[in-house]
Amino acid sequence: MLTRLSIRDIVLIERLDLTFSAGLTVLTGETGAGKSILLDSLGLALGARADTGLVRAGAAQGSVTAVFEPEDGSDLDALLAENGLDTGEGVLILRRVVTADRKSRAFVNDQPVSVGLLRALGERLVEIHGQHDDTALLQPAGHRDLLDAFGGHAREVRDTAGAADALARAQTALDDARRAIAEAARDADYLRHVLAELEELAPEEGEEEGLANARADMMAAEKVAGDLDAALALLSGSGERTSAGIEQMMAAALRRLEAAAQRVPGRLDEAMQGLDRALVEAGEALAALDRARADLAFDPAVLERTEERLFALRAAARKHDVAVDVLPALRDRFAQRLADLDRGEARVGELEEARDAAAAAYDAAAGALSAARTLAARALETEVTGELGPLALGKARFAVSVTTDPDAGRAPHGRDRVEFLVATIPGTEPAPLMKIASGGEISRFVLALKVALGRARSAPTLVFDEVDRGIGGATADMVGARLKRLADGAQVLVITHSPQVAARGNRHLRIAKTLTDTGASTDVAALDIDARREEIARMLAGTTVTDAARAAADSLLGDRP
Question: Which range has the worst mean pLDDT, 136-145, 237-246, 282-291, 451-460?
Answer: 237-246
The pLDDT tens digits for 156-167 are: 999 999 999 999
Q: Give the pLDDT score at 57.
A: 85
Q: Give the pLDDT score at 73.
A: 62
Report the predicted TM-score, pTM, of the whole model to 2 decimal places.
Answer: 0.59
Under the banding of pLDDT at 50, 70 and 90, the label for residue 238 is low
379, 181 contact by CB (below 8 A): no
Average pLDDT score over residue span 310-320: 88
Contacts by 316-322, CB closer than 8 A, 24 or more apart: 316/197, 316/198, 316/201, 316/203, 320/194
Q: Give the pLDDT score at 561.
A: 47
Q: Give the pLDDT score at 479.
A: 82
State how far the Cα of 220 lies from the Cα of 521, in Å rounded to an integer: 102
Please give the residue that has the higher pLDDT: either 94 or 11.
94
The pLDDT tens digits for 296-314 are: 666 678 778 888 888 888 8
What sign for the dihedral angle of Cα 146, 385, 556, 494? Answer: positive
* 492 contact partners, CB below 8 Å, separation of at least 6: 23, 24, 25, 461, 462, 463, 464, 483, 486
10 Å CB burial of residue 558 (0-12, 13-18, 19+) is: exposed
Q: Give the pLDDT score at 286.
A: 81
Identify which of 129-138, 292-301, 394-403, 470-479 has the greatest average pLDDT: 394-403
pLDDT at 149 over 90: no
pLDDT at 241 over 50: no
Under the banding of pLDDT at 50, 70 and 90, the label for residue 130 is low
pLDDT at 131 over 70: no
Under the banding of pLDDT at 50, 70 and 90, the label for residue 446 is confident
Under the banding of pLDDT at 50, 70 and 90, the label for residue 456 is low
The pLDDT tens digits for 367-388 are: 999 999 999 999 999 989 888 8
Q: Give the pLDDT score at 117.
A: 93
513 bridge partner residues: 522
Q: Give the pLDDT score at 242.
A: 47
The pLDDT tens digits for 490-535 are: 899 999 888 999 999 999 999 988 876 666 788 889 999 999 999 9
What sign for the dihedral angle of Cα 114, 118, 119, 121? Answer: positive
Q: Give the pLDDT score at 116.
A: 92
499-to-266, 468, 503, 508, 532 alpha-carbon distances in Å: 142, 10, 6, 11, 10
Three-state secondary structure string covering 222-254: HHHHHHHHHHHHHHHCCCCCCCCCHHHHHHHHH
pLDDT at 26 over 50: yes
Q: Which residues of 160-174 are buried (b: 16+ CB within 10 A; e: fewer)?
A: bbebbebbeebbebb
The residue among 494, 502, 512, 497 whose CA lies nearest residue 532 is: 502
Under the banding of pLDDT at 50, 70 and 90, the label for residue 403 is very high
Q: What does 389-447 look like in DSSP terms, one character per residue? A: GGGT-TT-EEEEEEEE-TTTSS-TT-SEEEEEEEESSTTSPPEEHHHH--HHHHHHHHH
The pLDDT tens digits for 259-282 are: 877 877 888 888 888 888 888 888
Please give the residue that has the higher pLDDT: either 385 or 227.
385
Q: Give the pLDDT score at 387.
A: 83
Average pLDDT score over residue span 16-24: 92
Q: Give the pLDDT score at 82.
A: 86
Mean pLDDT of all residues belonging to the chain: 84
